[in-house]
Amino acid sequence: MADKTQTGLMQQNWSAGEPQPSFWTGLKVEKDQVVPVTTLRCPTCGYLESYAIAQSQNGVIVSGRSSNQRQLVAVLIGLVVLLLGVGVALLVRPK
């Protein structure tokens, strides 16, 4: 089941415990404790059941974020750093 966010559609996630408020993200959760939610639908009646089953790869819990999302974030951060560097270089150059 998709979860609509400001950045688009993402897989729902579950986290144990009480979430804490966060100024930047709305809720603060421990990312290493996040478990992806899988929802199954009965083809006959449409009944939905959701399960948060920890899926591990080499003992590491999968966060639900795809590698494409991680790559996109890394590229965007790199572009911001590059633009900041160019801006600083233009400000400090001798006239």
pTM to 2 decimal places? 0.45
Q: What is the mean pLDDT of residues 40-46?
A: 90
DSSP letter for each residue of 13-74: EEESSPPEEETTTEEE--GGGEEEEEEEE-TTT--EEEEE---EETTEE--S--HHHHHHHH
**pLDDT higher at 89 or 57:** 89
* pLDDT surpasses 60 at 35: yes
DSSP 95: -
Q: What is the mean pLDDT of residues 18-37?
A: 79
Tell me what pLDDT residue 47 has. Answer: 92
According to DSSP, the residues that pair with 2 across neighbouring strands are: 11
Q: Hey, how many other C-beta atoms are within 10 angstroms of the C-beta on 28?
A: 13
Q: What is the mean pLDDT of residues 25-49?
A: 84
Q: Give me the residue spans of the domains in the chain.
A: 1-63, 65-95
Q: How far are the Cα atoms of 4, 58, 77 from residue 91, in angstroms, in the given order?
A: 41, 48, 21
